[in-house]
Amino acid sequence: MQSITQVMRGHKPVIAVVTIVHPAHALSIAKALNKGGVSILEFTLRNKHGLDAIKIVREEMPDLCVGAGTLIKPAQFATTKKAGAQFSVSPGLTPALIRAASDQQTPYLPGATTPSEIMIGIENGFSVLKFFPAQSSGGLNFIKDLAGPFPEVKFCPTGGVDESNIHRYLSTDNVLCAGTSWLTPQKLVQEENWEELTRRARIMTKSLAVI
């Protein structure tokens, strides 16, 4: 089973976290973000349209790295893999989710925010963990503190990550990547303001040049 690091190789470490309300928007969103330099998308399963979005973008834009987010049930690993998801993300971790990811041979990014959860992740072979919700769970200072007891673990902070702080997160040694929904606010998507999505993507990726 590939690791998250292997799946993301060759892509910039900004993951666009996208919740689709209208399936017809999926491809336009992907094109707008990719035009701005973002090539990793995580479509959440917070509603029924996430799977359709994964299928559409994987078929039409195979060079992008497309994953499924908000997996909270073991059965979702099989359905997202069938849809074409290249990786899966959960807000937390449970033994059942870990088993399902292993059974499906799915590159998996489980969530962990406490030392105990991180230790469970380590015991199950994970060296990259999602840190969610990042800002309200202690933010950058807490992530830096975790480097002491867990030097082998890297994190993907998500939740409250935006243009004001992503550079600081990605400049931190124990941060591998960062997930953000700032790129695709529902108001802009509903307005079909794809130019603004591209502009936001360029802001994010431009900041990576000085890291």
In this structure, is residue 155 part of a structural domain?
yes
Question: Does any domain span residue 2?
Answer: no
How many beta carbons lie within 10 A of that of residue 180, not counting itself? 25
Residues sharing a CB contact under 8 Å with residue 140, sequence separation 6 or more, in sequence order: 157, 165, 168, 169, 172
- Choose the catalytic residue: 12, 42, 82, 195: 42
Q: How does pLDDT run across 96-145, given as a tens digit for each residue?
A: 999 999 999 999 999 999 999 999 999 999 999 999 999 999 999 999 99
Whether cis (ω within 30° of 0) applies to the bond prior to 133 is: yes
Residue 56 lies in a domain: yes
Q: Is 12 a catalytic residue?
A: no
Spot the catalytic one: 123, 130, 163, 196: 130
Residue 4 resides in a domain: no
Q: What pTM value is reported for the model?
A: 0.96
Q: For the chain, how many structural domains are there in total? A: 1
pLDDT tens per residue, range 150-190: 999 999 999 999 999 999 999 999 999 999 999 999 999 99
Long-range pairs of 108-116 with CB within 8 A, sequence gap ≥ 24: 108/4, 109/4, 109/67, 109/156, 113/137, 113/138, 115/146, 115/149, 115/150
How much helix, strand and coil, in percent to the nearest 5, is found in the chain? 45, 15, 40
Does residue 1 lie within any of the structural domains?
no
Residue 86 within a domain: yes
CATH number of the CATH domain containing 33:
3.20.20.70
Task: Return the closest-CA partner of residue 110 out of 77, 137, 83.
Answer: 77
pLDDT of residue 207: 74
Give the residue among 180, 182, 208 at the shortest CA–CA distance from 197.
182
Task: Give me the sheet containing 65-69, strands edge to edge.
Answer: 108-109, 88-89, 65-69, 40-44, 14-18, 178-180
* Residue at 16 is within a domain: yes
Q: Domain range for residue 100?
A: 10-210
For residue 94, report the phi and psi dihedrals to the nearest 5 degrees.
-140, 160
Residue 5 lies in a domain: no
Q: Is 123 a catalytic residue?
A: no
